[in-house]
Structure 1
């Protein structure tokens, strides 16, 4: 269970990649890459993990993910049925920090864009009028040629740099921790938790993933993340619970079990201590 480094190929005549994927379902493992990534999900639904954030993605979502931020996308189970006629359609752009020259984003005129790109390591969901402007630019970009490609991408980045319609996904602490390239053990732990947080996770199992004793694992995890493993696990579960509460399809008790808590009362207590509100309060705000 190692984090996959995705190799992104770019045509010789281009400085960055723009494509439209039409697939039966999304095949994106737990991975990272040195490129910035802009994704417009025209059609598709499922679960998204960006860093330490577990979220849902739906038709019409627009996401921007910074370089080397680990992420994974998995469709709902209905997409993987043999006779399913569902399709995933996604518009994707990949570019590197030096795609336009090593010092391009260091120019004074690029300061606001540079600030956004730095923050994008957390992963970003774009909504509101900004989303619709960017989607229109993406449609132009897909058919653009020569210098028009670069100009259109810069227009997209300008919208992002000025936008107030941004939701940052992963926590600041996650970004600070994982920008250190020597944390393969943490990548493996995050991958394990993201795949298993809905089930009971024993400390011994997590320690085995890191190839450490329980005591050494607890010290290692606390030193790297500034939080205990149980606190981290509960945070991921609560983040997912908040999304389910807003959706409003399940009862609070159902959400407790769906998120890996073994009792609704413990879920309620943990949720309130983490968010300052009860699950019912959040459910009523949707």
Structure 2
């Protein structure tokens, strides 16, 4: 399945879109779009993939995603069962960089906001007091009309630009690899890995996705990403392991298998090589501990 380019419809009387979705479930396919996206998950839970970050989303999450960043959202299995009373409620804002004019964000006063928007390609989770402020502003935005809509959106962007409560999701490596290379084969491989990394993935299968021989695939992947396919796969698994370790609910051995490693000892070795610390040292610690 190819990376889907989603068309975001915007009313003629508006320069950007703001809406509230109330759905039986969320099942956003592997997609991208040229708009910036702000999502407030009022009520829902499931799996979120932004770039090379695989995470969970839950009630109260606030996420900002930059333009053309590939991402996927899917609810937990319980949402798809018949005769359940679960509902997904999400507040969503979409706007383009030129929604207010081609050079608006180049104004000197927009410097901090422009800096945030540029980095948002990685995807951002907003926490703390910033999240509370933005949720209140979103509620104001939804009931606003005319120029007031623009003023409120700018207030939201100002909060984001000045916030210290931001967790960037995708890695810098992902940005470097994907932002400048619009390669459909690479996206197809990435989608396959993001859906199957918790299972055993053979090199032959990945090569088939790219419609290449194993040798040609290895050469292609290395030339595009500056890493081997095995290194890329382990990187994605380690990124997911960091989230599970921070939650502190599972044992290290359980996390190893949950992330697709075939043995806890190999997981420990790979994790320490990538982070400089053992999984046990970081289990139950905040994500900031992984950078220290």
Alignment TM class, shorter chain as reference: over 0.9
How far apart are 1:188 and its partner, in Å?
0.4
Distance (Å, rounded) in 2 between the aligned partners of 1:121 and 1:136: 24
Alignment length (residue pairs)? 286
C-alpha distance in 2 between matches for 1:114 and 1:134: 18
TM-superposed CA distance for 1:271, in Å, is 1.3
Superposition map of 1:82-161 within 5 A: 82-161=82-161
Structure 2's unaligned 5+ residue stretches are 287-292
CA RMSD of aligned residues (A): 1.1
Listed one character per residue, the Cα deviations across residues 114-143 of structure 1 (whole Å, up to 9, x for unaligned) are 111010011011111111111110000000
Give the Cα separation in 2 of the matches to 1:41 and 1:220: 38
Tell me the equivalent position of 2:195: 195
The aligned residue for residue 290 of structure 2 is: none
Cα deviation, 1:141-172, whole Å, max 9, x if unaligned, reads 00000000000000000111111111111112
Task: Say if 2:28 and 2:73, in contact at 8 Å, map to a contact too.
Answer: yes
Residues 1:65 and 2:65 aligned together:
yes
Give structure 1 regions of 4+ aligned residues with deviation exceeding 4 angstroms.
none
Match of 2:270 in 1: 270
Report if the CA contact (8 A) 2:247-2:284 is conserved.
no
Q: 1:51 aligns to what?
A: 51
| Structure 1 counterpart of 2:289 | none
Cα–Cα, structure 1 residues 155 and 27, in superposed 2: closer, same or farther, change >3 Å? same
* TM-fit CA distance, 1:284: 4.4
Per-residue deviation at 1:111? 0.9
> 260-269 or 136-145: which moved more?
260-269
Q: Which residue of 2 aligns with 1:5?
A: 5
Other-structure match for 2:261: 261
Q: Distance between the aligned counterparts of 1:95 and 1:198, measured in 2? A: 34
Q: CA deviation at 1:180?
A: 2.8
Q: Cα distance, 1:176 vs. partner?
A: 2.3
Q: Distance in 2 between matches of 1:63 and 1:150?
A: 20
> Which has the higher mean CA deviation after the structures are superposed, 147-156 or 169-178?
169-178
TM-score when scaled to structure 2? 0.95
In structure 1, distance between residues paired with 2:173 and 2:197? 20
Which residue does the alignment assign to 1:279? Answer: 279
What are the superposed Cα offsets for residues 191-232 of structure 1, whole Å, 9 maximum, x if unpaired? 000000011000111111111211121121112112111111
Secondary structure (helix, strand or coil) at the match of 2:134 reads helix
Give unpaired runs (5+ residues) of structure 1: none
Structure 1 position 269, deviation (Å): 1.1
